[in-house]
Structure 1
Amino acid sequence: MPTAHAWGLDVIRWLQQGSPALDLPFRALTLLGSVGFAAALVAVLYWAIDQRAALALTGLYLLSALLNSALKALLQQPRPADLEIGVAILTQAAGYGLPSGHTQNSVVLWGYLAWRWPHRWLRWLCGAVLVLVPLSRVYLGAHFPTDLMGGYVTGLLVLLAGKALAHHRPAEAHQRSWLALPIGLLAVLSLPGLAIYRSETLAVAAFGGGLAIGYLAERRWVRFGEAASGAQRVWRALLGLSTSAALAGAAMGLRSTVWISLILLALAGLWVTWGAPSVFRQLWRSAEQDTG
């Protein structure tokens, strides 16, 4: 057994001395690095706070997810469960371990938020999440510490590339490029991961494709703006997320029927960037007419 893995198992055993008291807190913390949480957060950003920032974050996150699958397929490093059954496995995690997807994608998600809105409280929050989410992956037996290091480095590189792109693109082209970038690189990045992470890669492609098509349709026919009252922002989040959750839940439930699942994921992406903005605009336009 490689020294890094042997040392990693020792770290996991040491952390798991806090089990079962810390099981629930760490299971909750690990959700902050999940794809589902990221999708919900970006959707709310798009509907109610800052469309341009949401598009940039979406493009970076999709690119990071595709890159993570490709690197895992290339490196083919084991998870703790593959080496020693004695380590408690407190969460489900399939496939290879390096780099940690939760860590890498958290660096992109929370790192972007801290950079885009440099409020002190937000930076402290993002910093805490970037420590606790990766730590939760080790505690839960999903990753070795070395997997986290790979995730930190890869996520930081993606984030820095995004910042460089943001400084060298005109505003309108800048908006389009964030969704075009991961789609344009999809074929290259998905090749090594497609055989091993076929379902994950296709899911990212379906959802990302729906987002891109929906955005183009929204720009052409809707021209939705995120400006709204506080109450309207809350209603947008509730209505939008409930429909998104229903579509994503149906896709998860029908994973055995691959193409139906992918269609539902594409519809979920289409809903975020086109369907929901269309509904919101019509709802509040009607409300304004009724009160006027």
Structure 2
Amino acid sequence: MDIQLSILQYFQSIRNPILNMTFLLFTISTELPVIVLITAFTYWCINKKYGQKILFSLVGNITINTSIKDFFKAPRPIGMKGIESLRVSTATGYSFPSGHTQTATSFWTSIMIIFRKTWIYILGTIMILSIGISRLYLAVHWPIDVIFGWTFGIIFTILISKIFDYVDENKKYSIFIFILILFIIIAFFLNSESYIKVLGLLTGLILGYIIEDKFIQFETGNNNKQTINFSNRQTKKRSRAFINLIRFILGILTLALVYILLKVGMPYILELIELKNLDFTKKILDYIRYTIVMFYGVAGVPALFKAFKLS
């Protein structure tokens, strides 16, 4: 602990406005709004399979990270004597392992696995290291949290990527259902509100993936059958860019609408349901809410694209 404290105090001693802004940007780059926008654009507009692989990696790692956090319940360095933490508003939950670090590692490792380009390996490595270090610079995590965030992010992303490829190629949906059941069993032992929410995301992702893959089957590539068919190549590119823009705007707006309606509506449901165990009921409603939101993003939005002939 003394060594870890010394490391945090060292980063605190070199703070200046430029470094503050730099590391704040690194840490913000892996927070939920940024990750949602990038992953959604990839899934809806660039390449469906790439987007699915990134989604499974991210949601899988977030679920594992949350379960480990809620099991160990390690305190953060925030508020410790001699430590001045920055951007504590986003440093919620327990400390071990670092969620920001594991999420960033998962995202960039997925990108490296997908594209396998030298410059992407370099960029990804820089981002992974910088985001982890930013959590130390901001003094919201211990060094051991970051080290295991890197380690878990790499190991589980590689594992999840291989599982996804196998399931996707062989249509072995039962493997995903089995994994989901295991995580549901874990929920009974953890009894954690934060875990229930990410479990809802995992449930919506798996169910949404299966429904989309079996029944919707929308496409994002240039081999799509488009109603617009101009001979001029530049016009085709502009048409593709315009369709992608419409897709992204339609997807984000409707996804946000579904999220807001469910978030606003759930408290009213709690008031209508006269149950003694309101805490348990709230957890179930949170699980349902996050399941629906993810399911809509993975299967509902693509169905909307097909309905509006944007696929």
What is the TM-score of this pair, normalised by structure 2?
A: 0.76
**Unpaired runs of at least 5, structure 2:** 223-239, 271-281
User: Judging changes above 3 Å, is the alpha-carbon distance between structure 1 residues 5 and 188 closer, same or farther for their aligned structure 2 residues?
Assistant: farther
Q: How does 1:244-255 map to 2 (within 5 A)?
A: 244-248=255-259
State the 1:22 CA deviation.
3.7
2:210 counterpart of 1:216: yes
Within the candidate set 200, 208, 212, 2:194 is matched to 200
Aligned-CA RMSD value:
3.0
State the 1:99 CA deviation.
1.0
Larger Rg, first or second structure (1 or 2) = 2
In the aligned structure 2, how far is the partner of 1:4 from the partner of 1:255?
A: 46
In the aligned structure 2, how far is the partner of 1:167 from the partner of 1:211?
A: 15
Q: How does 1:1-292 map to 2 (within 5 A)?
A: 2-15=1-14, 17-18=15-16, 20-84=17-81, 86-92=83-89, 93-165=91-163, 171-173=169-171, 176=173, 179-180=176-177, 182-191=179-188, 194-195=190-191, 198-228=192-222, 229-248=240-259, 258=282, 261-284=286-309
Secondary structure, aligned partner of 2:295: helix
In terms of mean alpha carbon deviation, does 108-117 or 121-130 score higher? 121-130
State the 1:102 CA deviation.
1.0
State the 1:272 CA deviation.
1.2
State the 1:45 CA deviation.
2.2
State the 1:30 CA deviation.
1.3
8 Å CA contact retained: 1:114, 1:122: yes
In terms of mean alpha carbon deviation, does 149-158 or 79-88 score higher? 79-88
In the aligned structure 2, how far is the partner of 1:46 from the partner of 1:221?
A: 17
How many pairs does the alignment contain?
Answer: 279
Fraction of identical pairs, as percent: 19
Q: Deviation per CA, 1:120-143: give whole Å up to 9, x if none.
A: 333333222112211221222211
8 Å CA contact retained: 1:60, 1:182: no
Secondary structure, aligned partner of 1:284: coil
**Unpaired runs of at least 5, structure 1:** none
State the 1:250 CA deviation.
5.7
In the aligned structure 2, how far is the partner of 1:166 from the partner of 1:222?
A: 19
In the aligned structure 1, how far is the partner of 2:43 from the partner of 2:74?
A: 36
8 Å CA contact retained: 1:50, 1:226: yes
Which residue matches 2:232?
A: none
